[in-house]
Chain A
Amino acid sequence: MLKIVEIENLTVQYPDVKALDDVSFEINQGDFLGIIGPNGAGKSTLFDSMLGLNTKYKGTIKFFGEDIRKSKNYLKEIGYVPQKPIFEKNFPVTVTDVVRMGLRNESDENKIDEILQQLWIHELRNRRIGELSGGQQQRVFIAKALIINPRILILDEPVTGIDQQSIDLFYSILRELNSKQKITIIWSSHDLDAVNQLANHVACLNRTLFFHGESEKFFSNDELVKQYSEASMQEHMHHH
C-alpha cells in the first residue's frame, strides 16, 4: 500500500483552546476515509492544516512523502470541496465559469463539458451559480475540484442543507470516483450511516484521535459507536 498522506503529532493551539492534540495517522492510496467527530472536534482545522490554509501547527504533514512546509506542489493533486462555498448570490459567473476557475491549463477547455456531463449538470452550464439549488451547486464544486484530475479529493461536510435526492446522487458519484477512478477520498461527515456505507476507513476525531482504522472495525465495535454517539449528542444538546 502506498502511503500518500502522513500526519505525525499534529497539534494546533488556538489562543483559547487546543483544536487538535497530537493527532497522527496515515492515508493510503485508494482509501475512502470518513472523518467523523462532533462540532468543534477539529475537523475543519485538520483540513485547513492539510490544505496549507493554516500554517500555525506543530508536528508534520506529508503528502506523497514530502513535508508540505517545503513544497506546495502537492496541491496540484488535490481537489477540494469546501463545506459551504461562500460567494455573493449575484456573482456574475455561470456553471462553466466556475468549473473553468479550477483549470490550471487553459488548453483543457474541452474537459469542462465532459466533467459537467459526468456530474449531471451539463444542461445547467449557462446558468448562474447563485440560481442553483444547494445540491446542484455542490456538484458544480465537485466538478471544479475534479477538472484537474486530482489523485485526492477532500470534502468538508459536503451535504449540509441539501435535499435527500441530491445527497443520494452525491454518494453514488463519490463511490464511483473511488472505485472506478481510484481517487483517494478524504471526507468529513456527521452522517454515521453514510460513512458506514461508503467509507472503507474511519477516523474518529474529537481534538484527539479516538480511532483510526478500517470502518468495519469501528462499526462492529458497539462500545466505540456508542461513545461517539453520546459525545456528539452532548455536543448537539450543548449547541441548542
Chain B
Amino acid sequence: MHRALISGIAIAILCSVIGLFLVLRRYSLFGDAIAHSSFGGIALGLLAGVYPLWTAYGVSIASALIITKIKDRYNISGDASIAVLLSSGIAVGLVIIGLSGGFTIDIFSFLFGSILLVSVNDTVLILSLTGGILIVILLLYRQILYSTFNEEQAKVSGIPVEKINYLIVFMAGITVVTSIQLVGVLLISALFVIPNVTAIMYGKGFKQTAIISMSFSIFSVVVGILLSYIFDITPAGTIVLLAISLLAGTMGIKSSGLLSKS
C-alpha cells in the first residue's frame, strides 16, 4: 500500500510537469498517442516473454521520436500525427495479441493500471525516472519554457528549439510508460491534461501554475488510491474522477466570480 502511494505521488508530479508543457504546446493528446503505441510494445513483450514495460519503453520512445520527425518533415498537423500514432500502436498490439493466442489477464492490468500491485523494483524505477526527468527540467527550465511560449523568439535568443522539442517528446515517452502502472493505457492523458487545465484557470504565473497542478494531481492520486483501497474499486477510474471533480469545482468557482482574473 505505501509502495502504491509513493509511486503514485511520484507519477502525479511527473505527469503534471510534463503535461503542462504538452498542454501549452497544444499537444494534449500526445500522451494518449504514446500510451496507445506502448500498447503495441506491451503486446510485443508478452509475446516475446520479455518484461512488457521494457518493450513498452522502447516502442513508445521510438514512436514518439519518429512521429515528431515525420510531422516536421512532411508538415503533418499535430492532431493528425497523433491520430496516426494512436491507431498504429493499437493495430500493432491487436495483431500481436492475436498471434500470441488472445487477451490475457496481463493485458488488462496494463490497460487499466495496477498500482496496488506495484513491486519494490517498480517503485525504485519510478522514483529514479521521476528524479532524473525533474532534474533535466529544472536545469533546462528557461529553455523549455521559452521554446514552448514562442519558438521563433526562442530561436532568435539562441535556444536550440528543435533539440528541446525532441527532449520533451522523449521525456513524455518515458513518463507515459512509467505512468501506465498507475492509471493504465486508456486513462493516461487524464493525468497529463486535467490537473493542468484546472491549474491554468487560477490565472497565476508559471511556477505557481505548476505547483497548483502538482498539488491537484497528488491530491487526486493519493485520495484515489485510498478510496479504491477502502471501497475495493478501481484506482485508475477513481483518480481520474477526482481530478475531474477538482476541474468542475474550479469551473464553478470561476463562474461564480470568485476567480476574477481570467
- Seen from chain A, the residues whose Cβ lies within 8 Å of a Cβ on chain B are 51-53, 72, 75-76, 78, 80, 82, 85-88, 90-94, 96-98, 100-104, 106, 126-128, 130-131
Contact = CB atoms under 8 A, between A and B. Distances in A.
A14 to B, nearest CB: 15
B209 A85 contact: no
Contacts of B261: 127-128, 131
Contacts of A90: 200, 262
Contacts of B206: 92-94, 97
Given A92-B205, A92-B206, A97-B205, A53 B156 contact: yes
B152 interface: yes
Contact of A101 (B142, B152, B209): B142
B150 A86 contact: yes
Contact of A75 (B24, B142, B156, B205): B156
B153 A52 contact: no
A108 B180 CA distance: 41
A121 B154 CA distance: 22
Nearest to B207: A97
A101 B145 contact: yes
Nearest to A93: B206
Contacts of A102: 157
B203 interface: yes
B84 to A, nearest CB: 24
Contacts of B24: 88, 91-92
The 7 closest A-B pairs by CB, nearest first: A92-B209, A94-B205, A101-B146, A80-B156, A75-B158, A51-B156, A93-B206
Given A91-B24, A92-B200, A93-B205, A101 B155 contact: no
A76 B24 CA distance: 27
Nearest to A106: B142
Contacts of A126: 205
A72 B204 CA distance: 35
A142 to B, nearest CB: 13
Interface in B182-218: 199-200, 203-206, 208-209
B149 interface: yes
Contacts of A128: 203-205, 261
Contacts of B262: 90, 130-131
Nearest to A80: B156
24 contacts: A52-B155, A53-B152, A53-B156, A72-B158, A75-B157, A75-B158, A78-B156, A82-B153, A85-B150, A86-B150, A87-B149, A90-B200, A90-B262, A91-B24, A92-B208, A96-B205, A97-B205, A101-B142, A101-B146, A102-B157, A103-B142, A127-B261, A128-B205, A131-B262
